[in-house]
A and B are shown apart, each in its own frame.
Chain A
């Protein structure tokens, strides 16, 4: 195995992270950036991602670094989530939301799929009132606006 070149990332608080190039390539944003401007000695700043979240993201990418199906993630919503990924998502709600934003920003589709599916599973099969409770949302409809949206399609 040839030695991987390494990338330096800086989180929003200024913490530095060194990761291998092939792990960084899991993020389409970083991959394109590095392809365009080549190797850079300076760190890549990620002002939208905090240190703890970046740690979690790197953990995900490192675990999946050898996964051959990583980039060909399909839209199959019903696909089962594997064990490691399930454990990975057992974090508090705040962290989970931040992970979604980070995965979106860094353009890591499989992580996006995973985190969004996890939240979607929290919404599934719940009534509006139950959803409001789970996510602590206030109902701002006026009583007569709560009309029936009739259309449902499969």
Chain B
């Protein structure tokens, strides 16, 4: 070619964003133009950890700090980036130190820093700041922080490994929201942080700094923020009308959260102020409710009289007395009927009021507080919900939250005609009143998960890990129709002919991660039934069945994936089953079948469980990976993790 086309200069800065720092440093030496365009990219992002002394010294000496846009200061056990370095990088200010570097850890020099801090000429215009760690002088840190007014994203993690002798950082959220007008993302979490009480509680009147609207879209906090009490507890959220994403990262213990949180108050405040919330993420212990359920005085509970008489054939006319007797005589039955009736009402969708009607994404970690009532109501009412991810963990204690909405309960009981009876019964910890639905939230069970899948029609991503659903529950039939009181009291668990009822999300579901167990005594038809059901999912791209005893083998009806009515042969790209407890004789054949039937399959991950053969010799069951056909097949990544007892 005689004519070489030159890379247009205006594209250089765009392209350099995709290069690693190593490559960028090479680009610096190519030509002057490249140097000028690459340099800002090189300094744009800075990540520092406490151990990088040499790097810090070099950076301190460099004159290019004004190019820094994003800074991330990490910490490791016990050590944080020293405040003097932070002052240097972020404000280009070097305090006149008389002592050596080690001495800066004491607080004597920090008090000599003038306020406001005189920033140097190389001071960067930061857009993103992320800091993790603990400092002796919160006053100085505060001053530094509040001078970074150009921030768009702020992440502070006040963690410290030894919290016994330290003082907390008290953060005034109102002040931060006012100080950083461009802030889109704010995250303040950690063991050593305390949220200052809301402004309105402390001052007489409201001033400008507490009422301005903020453009904050993402907010991350720890559950202590939800422990506020009083009428202005959540007035902060009044300013966050644009909030889209809510994240609760918790380091608190569950018991404390359960004792101190008022999830109904929090939910109602957010419903009123932040109507655009579409993504919720909870990690660690926090109590968050998604729906508001009304509290009824006991005599307004529908069909209570019928239920009592059902439990107790010779029930007296006085309902209160009847309930006491029913408890003694047939307590379990009455409780069960009340629960079923609650489910029926939730399925009708009239009683539950959503706190987050625009919810699209829900991600819950292991100590989540998702209740059965919330999950069913989500299935019935959530129109936009596309992503649900639950890391489930079975609790040691009874999965019931005893959260007593005192305000609503007081209002309800105030209208009870015989308030003395009510009060005395309640005072005796009478279970009818406690267990009566809408006061207690129950932990989700397997059937609730299946019911949710049968109801929610917009789901694209569904993942529930660390929980295995037995086939019995999957085939429990149609759970969406309200319980008929003529049929047996329980939701039919043992249907005469087990079938898998259709899921509402069959058209939209793209990713499914669900553990399934099939009892070994079940015949292969049961496995085939499950595969056929998965075959109905029209747009499935990724299928994972961890911790499962469902066998992915053509001998067990795997062809059902192709004949179920969906288009899996076009859409399926990933299949994973790790870890798992199934056994297949012919792994090679299975892999080749997958490769042939699903031309777009890219990943096949299997974990094979097999007992060690007698005599200590473990069979080579990954030998099939060396097979020529397997190596040449269209699946990019096949991995098998063999596991023996």
User: Chain A residues in contact with chain B, CB under 8 A?
Assistant: 68, 77, 92-94, 97, 100-101, 104, 112-113, 116-117, 119-120, 123-128, 131-132, 135-141, 146, 149-154
CB contact under 8 A between A137 and B19, given known A68-B460, A112-B14, A151-B59: no
Instruction: Flag if A141 contacts B31 (CB, 8 Å).
Output: yes
Instruction: Flag if B11 contacts A139 (CB, 8 Å).
Output: no
Chain B interface category by residue count: 35 or more
Instruction: Flag if B21 contacts A154 (CB, 8 Å).
Output: yes
**Contact check: which of B14, B25, B45, B47 meets A149 at CB < 8 Å?**
B25
List the B side residues contacting A152 at CB < 8 Å.
21-22, 25, 42
* 0/1 string, B1-21, CB within 8 A of A gives 1: 000111110110011111111
Report Cα–Cα, A98/B89, bound state, in Å: 38
List the A side residues contacting B17 at CB < 8 Å.
116
Q: How many A-B residue pairs have CB under 8 A?
A: 104
Instruction: Flag if A97 contacts B47 (CB, 8 Å).
Output: no
List the B side residues contacting A126 at CB < 8 Å.
23, 26
Smallest Cβ-Cβ distance to A126: which chain B residue = B26
Instruction: Flag if A137 contacts B31 (CB, 8 Å).
Output: yes
Smallest Cβ-Cβ distance to A113: which chain B residue = B18
**Contact check: which of A104, A146, A151, A154 meets B11 at CB < 8 Å?**
A104
User: Chain B residues in contact with chain A, CB under 8 A?
Assistant: 4-8, 10-11, 14-23, 25-32, 34, 42-43, 45-48, 55, 58-59, 62, 64, 460, 510
Instruction: Flag if A150 contacts B58 (CB, 8 Å).
Output: yes
List the B side residues contacting A146 at CB < 8 Å.
29
Instruction: Flag if B32 contacts A124 (CB, 8 Å).
Output: no
In the assembled complex, the CB of B282 is this many whole angstroms from the nearest CB of chain A, namely 21
**Contact check: which of A97, A100, A123, A141 meets B27 at CB < 8 Å?**
A123
Smallest Cβ-Cβ distance to A99: which chain B residue = B11
CB contact under 8 A between A136 and B4, given known A104-B14, A112-B14, A124-B23: yes
Instruction: Flag if B5 contacts A153 (CB, 8 Å).
Output: no
Instruction: Flag if A154 contacts B7 (CB, 8 Å).
Output: no
**Secondary structure type dominating chain A contacts:** loop
In the assembled complex, the CB of A115 is this many whole angstroms from the nearest CB of chain B, namely 9
**Contact check: which of B8, B30, B58, B510 meets A132 at CB < 8 Å?**
B30
Report Cα–Cα, A146/B34, bound state, in Å: 13
In the assembled complex, the CB of B173 is this many whole angstroms from the nearest CB of chain A, namely 28
List the A side residues contacting B20 at CB < 8 Å.
124
Instruction: Flag if A135 contacts B25 (CB, 8 Å).
Output: no
List the B side residues contacting A138 at CB < 8 Å.
31
List the A side residues contacting B10 at CB < 8 Å.
101, 104
Smallest Cβ-Cβ distance to B6: which chain A residue = A136
In the assembled complex, the CB of B61 is this many whole angstroms from the nearest CB of chain A, namely 10
Report Cα–Cα, A38/B429, bound state, in Å: 65
In the assembled complex, the CB of B573 is this many whole angstroms from the nearest CB of chain A, namely 10
Top-3 shortest CB links A-B? A94-B5, A120-B18, A136-B4
List the A side residues contacting B22 at CB < 8 Å.
152
**Contact check: which of A94, A119, A124, A139 meets B30 at CB < 8 Å?**
A139
List the B side residues contacting A120 at CB < 8 Å.
15-16, 18-19, 23
Pick 20 A–B contacts, CB within 8 A, sort by A.
A93-B5, A94-B5, A97-B11, A104-B10, A104-B11, A116-B18, A117-B18, A119-B15, A120-B23, A124-B20, A132-B31, A137-B34, A138-B31, A139-B30, A141-B32, A146-B29, A149-B29, A151-B42, A151-B58, A152-B25
B29, B31, B45, most chain A CB atoms within 10 A: B29
In the assembled complex, the CB of A132 is this many whole angstroms from the nearest CB of chain B, namely 6
Smallest Cβ-Cβ distance to A135: which chain B residue = B7
Smallest Cβ-Cβ distance to B539: which chain A residue = A68
**Contact check: which of A116, A123, A124 meets B14 at CB < 8 Å?**
A116
Instruction: Flag if A97 contacts B19 (CB, 8 Å).
Output: no
Instruction: Flag if A123 contacts B15 (CB, 8 Å).
Output: yes
List the A side residues contacting B16 at CB < 8 Å.
120
Report Cα–Cα, A138/B59, bound state, in Å: 30
CB contact under 8 A between A140 and B32, given known A93-B5, A123-B27, A151-B58: yes
List the B side residues contacting A139 at CB < 8 Å.
30-31
Smallest Cβ-Cβ distance to B19: which chain A residue = A120
B15, B30, B46, B510, most chain A CB atoms within 10 A: B30
Report Cα–Cα, A11/B230, bound state, in Å: 63
List the A side residues contacting B42 at CB < 8 Å.
149, 151-153
In the assembled complex, the CB of A138 is this many whole angstroms from the nearest CB of chain B, namely 7
List the B side residues contacting A100 at CB < 8 Å.
8, 11, 14-15
Given contacts A92-B5, A119-B11, 16 further A-B contacts (CB under 8 A): A93-B5, A93-B7, A100-B8, A104-B10, A104-B14, A116-B18, A120-B15, A120-B23, A124-B23, A126-B26, A141-B29, A146-B29, A149-B29, A150-B58, A152-B25, A153-B48
Smallest Cβ-Cβ distance to B55: which chain A residue = A153
Report Cα–Cα, A101/B18, bound state, in Å: 16
B4, B11, B31, most chain A CB atoms within 10 A: B11
Instruction: Flag if A123 contacts B8 (CB, 8 Å).
Output: no
List the A side residues contacting B4 at CB < 8 Å.
93, 136
Report Cα–Cα, A68/B539, bound state, in Å: 12
List the B side residues contacting A97 at CB < 8 Å.
5, 7-8, 11
B18, B20, B58, most chain A CB atoms within 10 A: B18
Report Cα–Cα, A98/B2, bound state, in Å: 19
List the A side residues contacting B45 at CB < 8 Å.
153
Report Cα–Cα, A39/B413, bound state, in Å: 59
Report Cα–Cα, A127/B28, bound state, in Å: 11
Report Cα–Cα, A72/B510, bound state, in Å: 16
Report Cα–Cα, A124/B29, bound state, in Å: 14
Report Cα–Cα, A85/B171, bound state, in Å: 47
List the A side residues contacting B15 at CB < 8 Å.
100, 116, 119-120, 123
List the A side residues contacting B58 at CB < 8 Å.
150-151
Report Cα–Cα, A153/B41, bound state, in Å: 11
Report Cα–Cα, A54/B20, bound state, in Å: 31
List the B side residues contacting A128 at CB < 8 Å.
26-27, 29-30
List the B side residues contacting A150 at CB < 8 Å.
58
In the assembled complex, the CB of A79 is this many whole angstroms from the nearest CB of chain B, namely 11
Report Cα–Cα, A125/B58, bound state, in Å: 24
Report Cα–Cα, A135/B28, bound state, in Å: 15
In the assembled complex, the CB of B512 is this many whole angstroms from the nearest CB of chain A, namely 16
B22, B23, B31, most chain A CB atoms within 10 A: B31
List the A side residues contacting B43 at CB < 8 Å.
151
CB contact under 8 A between A131 and B30, given known A93-B5, A97-B7, A119-B7: yes
**Contact check: which of A119, A123, A153 meets B46 at CB < 8 Å?**
A153
Instruction: Flag if B23 contacts A123 (CB, 8 Å).
Output: yes
Report Cα–Cα, A100/B62, bound state, in Å: 33
List the B side residues contacting A92 at CB < 8 Å.
5
Report Cα–Cα, A146/B31, bound state, in Å: 10
List the B side residues contacting A94 at CB < 8 Å.
5
List the B side residues contacting A154 at CB < 8 Å.
21, 47
